[in-house]
Amino acid sequence: MLDLQDHIRTIPDFPKPGIMYRDITTLLSHPAALKQSVIDLSAPFKESQIELVAGIDARGFIFGTAVALALGAGFVPIRKKGKLPFDTFEQDYALEYGTDTLQIHADAVSKNQRVLLIDDLIATGGTAEAAIKLLQRTECDVVGAGFVINLPDLEGSIRIQSMGVPVTSLVSYGGH
C-alpha cells in the first residue's frame, strides 16, 4: 500500500508567509496514488447506499467524481457563485478577509437522498460547513464528508462532526 503523504508536495510560505501549502497536483499525476486515494475515500461508504456525491469547487470535483463512480452514485457540483446557469440555492461563508458564496442547482438533490460530500482538504471547515448547510437546504441526508487531507490543528473536522456529519480523511498534517 502506498503512503499518500509521500505524494503530496509541501510548499512553504504559499500563498503567504507562515502557510504550508499542501499541493495535491503531485498526487494527481501519480496513477497509483490517485487510484489509492479514490479507493480509500470510497471504502468507508461502500455499504452506505450513497446516491450522490457532492464535490466542492474545484478540486472536490476531481476526487468527488471518481468516488461517485467507485460507489455507483451520481455527482453534484457545488460551485462558487455565478457559475451555475439554472435556479440555485446559495450559502454564504466567512473567509479570512470577507465572505464568499457557494451554490448548487435547486433541483440537483432530492429530499432524503443519501449524499456524501468530498473535497481535497479540510482546514477550518468553513467551506465544508457552507456546503453541508447548502445540501441540507435540499432536505437530503448528508451521510458523511471525506477529505484527502486534514489539518486537524485548525479543527475543521471537529466543526463538521459537531454538525452530526462523520468525517474521514486520508492524510493529516499538524500545523497549517
Q: Which residues are catalytic?
A: 59, 96
Contact between 31 and 37 under an 8 Å Cβ cutoff? The reply is no
> 33: which 3 cell numbers?
496514488
Tell me the C-alpha to C-alpha distance, in Å, between residue 165 and each of 36, 99, 141, 154, 156: 24, 23, 10, 17, 12
CB neighbours of 39 closer than 8 A, spacing ≥ 6?
70
Cα 28-34-40 angle, rounded to 5 deg: 140
Contact between 51 and 115 under an 8 Å Cβ cutoff? The reply is yes
Contact between 156 and 96 under an 8 Å Cβ cutoff? The reply is no
